[in-house]
Chain A
């Protein structure tokens, strides 16, 4: 089955700096990679996603890059703001239609200091 590793587990940055969170996956059949943001006590919310036929995707201050050969993908947040403080989860989903298994990384707690 799929195994997703996420690093770092905690990340503290100064407001305005960039933050990068990395995930690696093991199953080469995974073809969909979403990122979720979870604020304390709240539900996970999708912030950006990427499919295996795309190398990079950007949405304002957030970008995701995917390296299929190395089986890793990264979340980049630029010009961080205090409201970016949350736990971020990556996930990898296999391709096979009967196995819609989502494996999440263990999460990264991002703190943006004002």
Chain B
């Protein structure tokens, strides 16, 4: 158990719908990262938040948005869902801002499996 929690574990919805995925980082971690893992595309970095502020973006679609709340939990909002959005969505957390600096290892949550029908 990494200490990072994600809910829900599974989510099945229809095209055009909107869903919210939730992530609680490890106690003391200020950075939260979101990743998408599709069967044919491996792990794709979506976005990073640090202490409530957006810090870096990756390949995140405009239909997707995220935020980090004062208690440091984060939510990833996916709207106007398409079949191709079906994937595993991972959240990870780390102590600091820069991955690879000091002991700033990223710890991954168990993921949310999203199925869009």
- Tell me if chain B binds chain A: yes
Q: A51 near B105 (CB under 8 angstroms)?
A: no
Q: A99 near B99 (CB under 8 angstroms)?
A: no
Contacts of B111 in A (CB 8 A): 43
| Category for how many chain A residues contact B | 20 to 34
| Category for how many chain B residues contact A | 20 to 34
Which residue of A89, A100, A101 contacts B43 across the interface (Cβ within 8 Å)?
A89
Interface string of A53-87 (1 = CB under 8 A from B): 00000000000000000000000000000000000
Q: B98 near A100 (CB under 8 angstroms)?
A: yes
A46 at the interface (CB under 8 A from B): yes
A49 to B33, CA, bound (A): 18
B8 at the interface (CB under 8 A from A): no
A112 to B56, CA, bound (A): 37
Contacts of A103 in B (CB 8 A): 45
Q: B42 near A97 (CB under 8 angstroms)?
A: no
A44 to B108, CA, bound (A): 6
B10: min CB distance to chain A, Å? 12
Which B residues fall within an 8 A CB radius of A?
2, 33, 41-45, 48, 55-58, 90, 97-100, 105-106, 108-111
Which A residues fall within an 8 A CB radius of B?
31-32, 34, 42-46, 49, 51, 89, 91, 93, 97-107
